[in-house]
Structure formats: C-alpha cells, structure tokens
Amino acid sequence: MNSSLERDFHAKERLLVIACGMIAREVLAVKSQAGLDHLDLTCLPADFHFHPDRIAPGIEAAVAKARADGFERILVGYGDCGTGGELDRVCERLGVSRIQGPHCFAFYQGLGRFEALGEDDMTSFYMTDFLCRQFEAFFIKPLGLDRYPELAKDYFGHYEKLVYLAQTDDPALDAVAERAAKLLNLAYERRATGYGDLTSALKHAADEVTAHA
C-alpha cells in the first residue's frame, strides 16, 4: 500500500476534531481520560475568540483540507462563538456537526446549568483555565492595561463579577483568576466545571466513528 492510500485508510478510521485553540488542552485531556485513541485534533488560532468573523471561513478551509487528507468523520470544536449563526450555516453546507451551545463557557458548565443561570450571569465575565494561563497575553497587553490600568473601568465597568470556570484543580490558576477579579474590581466566584459537555460531545462523536468502522 502506497503512502497516500495508507494515509487515506488511516483517516477513514478516525475522528478529526477541528477545534478552537482555546480548548486544545481540554480536548486532549478528554481524549486521554476517555481512551479515545482514534481521535485526532487540529486547531484554528485561539485569537479567533476576538475575531468571530474568521471562524466560519476558517472552519470551511480546515474541513476542505481534512477531506483532502481522507477524513470522513469531522467534529467542529466550537459553539456558535459569536458567529451569529454563520458557523451553523457552514456546518450544514459541509455536512459536519459542531459542539452544541453558544460558546465554551456554556458547554463547560453544561447547557442546562448555563441556561438556568442565564439571568444571574448576565453581568458576569467568564474565565477558563486557558484564559487564566493567557490572561496577560489575551487581556492585559492587548487592552493596554499594563500601561493604563485605569482603562479597566472602561472595558469591564458593565460587569459585576468574574466567574472562573475551572476545568482543573490548580491553585496557580485560581490565584490568577482571583488577581484578575481584584484588578478589574469585580466580585469573584469559582465554579468547578471540569470539562462539562465537551466530554459527552467527544465521546458521542468518537462512538459514531467506531459504530461505522
């Protein structure tokens, strides 16, 4: 069997997750914990979080490449993530599915719990493990808060509390989230969510690959 045929055969037996870079570590953690050895991962840039207009075109290009590489089973590792339904339209056109929910903040908590907390969380600023690790790079420096900390009120004045959705139990990340709340002058709440609906979404998609193998 030549290398091209070997690649295509390999890809047909596997699930490819095309995910936001913000959840890459979490996808790999679920893969390891659940023994999803036939799951592969590729990611779009994490900073698409700030540019939702780039998500749908990015997914379209990534799916085209994946199919050229022989992948038949593809899961889009995004919620709507601010695309205003455009990602769903692209997914429908391409015949792929995505993780259910408006964004990772919802599926980490579980959609039912997220919806139940909707009114109470209207003025909450969410952080995750990724955003704790990247707080300087994603918020402090791009917003100029390292040079002009007084701008925090302008950027975050409409929030009332910072909610840290913790995927893991890491005191160092807890400390970052607590410092962020103080910096932004927000009340602080920690919610231990684990990986939430991400786990069930990946398991379900992986099981479908196994069932059709």
Q: What is the DSSP string of 84-102?
A: TTHHHHHHHHHT-EE-SSS
Q: What is the pLDDT of residue 94?
A: 98
pLDDT band at 10 (very low <50, low <70, confident <90, very high): low
Secondary structure (DSSP) of 20-54: EGGGHHHHHHHHHHHT-TTEEEEEE-GGGGG-GGG
Residue range 43-74, pLDDT digits in tens? 999 999 999 999 999 999 999 999 999 999 99
**Reported CATH class of domain 3-102+197-211:** alpha beta
Query: What is the CA 101 to chain-centroid distance, rounded?
Result: 11
Q: Is the pTM of this model over 0.95?
A: no
Instruction: Return mean pLDDT, the chain.
Output: 93
- pLDDT band of residue 9 (cuts 50, 70, 90) is very low
Domain boundaries, the chain: 3-102+197-211, 111-192
Alpha helices in 110-196 (DSSP H): 111-116, 129-133, 135, 152-156, 171-183
Q: Is the pLDDT of residue 12 over 90?
A: no
Q: How confident is the model at residue 212 (pLDDT cuts 50, 70, 90)?
A: low
Structure confidence by residue, pLDDT tens digits, 166-208: 999 999 999 999 999 999 999 999 999 999 999 999 999 998 8
Whether the CB-CB separation of 42 and 74 falls below 8 Å is answered with: no
- Give 1 or 168, the one with higher predicted confidence: 168
Question: Mean of the pLDDT values across residues 134-152?
Answer: 90
User: What pLDDT, on the 0 to 100 scale, is given for residue 86?
Assistant: 98
pLDDT at residue 210, as a whole number? 74
DSSP label at residue 137: I
- Give the whole-angstrom CA distance, residue 69 versus residue 193: 35
Separation of first and last alpha carbons in the chain: 20
pLDDT given for residue 117 in this prediction: 92
pLDDT score recorded for residue 3 = 46
